[in-house]
Amino acid sequence: MSGLAHFLEDEGLSTIVVALVREHVVKMSPPRALWVPFEMGRPFATPDDVELQQRVLKAALALLDEPTSEPLLQNFAEESSDLQGDLNWGFPGKLDADSVIAEAQSVLPIWHKAQTRINRTSFGISGFSPEAAIEFIHRYLSPDPMPNPKGMAPVSRARFTIDDIKVFYFEAALANGGRPSSFQLNEWFWKQTLAGKMILDFQDAARLSNDKNLRLIAGSLVPPECTYEYL
């Protein structure tokens, strides 16, 4: 993004980078940058905290008012409470199925409820339904794999399908609201769901696969701190 700032300024646009990794900005010196002390993936802080998001955006735009001809890097002073988590949160359903397919079926109505509450879903990158996504990964390395629809290489489809499965479960986990941290959600998903176990097993199998493309993505399916080595 700092590189893009240089190119866009060169074209005649004024830019501000809202930076999560301060060290990168220091090295690359974009014209104006606001460093924010938030979790990676959340440059505008806390979900649904309209006022905090507004303050971040206003602080970024305010850098345009600074009279400077040198790269400007300022710190956003406020922290977010995202990492504190929500002690009252729990998955809004009972997960006691004996197979990942059955588990996904039990999650489905909870996910639908979550969509109604959130009024959107970010599920869909794979092109599958939730049930088909589970089945695709479940059978991927079996002797009877599910056909890969046209339009995407099988390994890419597998990577996006695994992300969709995570979206499916994480969205369902918020069907009753609450504000669990990403740490809480990951702890739950990777340790307590059969879908998490399926992906962990898939990752281990992918590492040993004869398919070099599958081996290449094996390290990018599970947060490193959630892999079997750490759990």
Partner 1 sequence: MAQAAGVRVTDMVRLNDIPEPERSYMAELECIPYKHKPFTKAVAPNQRHVAIVSSAGLIIRGQRPMLSNDAGYRSIAADVANSDILCSHVSVNFDRTGFQQDINVMLPRDRLNELEADGSIAKAADTHYAFMGATHPDELEDKAREVGRSMLALGVNTVVLAPV
Site for partner 1 in 68-127 (CB under 8 A): 69-75, 82, 118-122, 124-125
**Nearest distance, CB of residue 116 and partner 1, angstroms:** 12
Report if residue 60 touches partner 1, rule: CB under 8 A: yes
Phi-psi region of 53 (alpha: psi -120 to 50; beta: other; left: phi over 0): alpha
Q: What is the dihedral of CA 76, 79, 83, 85, to 10 degrees?
A: -140
DSSP state of 149: P
173 φψ region: left (φ > 0), alpha (ψ -120 to 50), beta (else): alpha
Of residues 127 through 156, those in contact with partner 1 by CB under 8 A are 151-152, 156
Counting Cβ atoms within 10 Å, is residue 70 exposed (0-12), middle (13-18) or buried (19+)?
Answer: exposed
Determine the size of the site formed for partner 1 (CB under 8 A). Answer: 87
Query: How far is CA 132 from each of CA 38, 123, 128, 169, rounded to the nearest angstrom?
Result: 35, 13, 6, 14
For the segment 27-46, give every residue that binds partner 1 (CB under 8 A). 27-31, 35, 37, 39-46
Nearer to partner 1, 4 or 99 (CB): 4
Which region among 20-28, 97-105, 129-137, 139-147 touches partner 1 (by CB under 8 A)?
20-28
* Side-chain half-sphere CA neighbours of 79 within 13 A: 4
- Which of 58, 94, 150, 212 binds partner 1 (CB under 8 A)? It is 58
For partner 1, which residue of 110, 130, 134, 171 counts as binding (CB under 8 A)?
Answer: 171
- Mark the segment that binds partner 1 (CB under 8 A) among 19-27, 103-111, 140-148, 190-198: 19-27
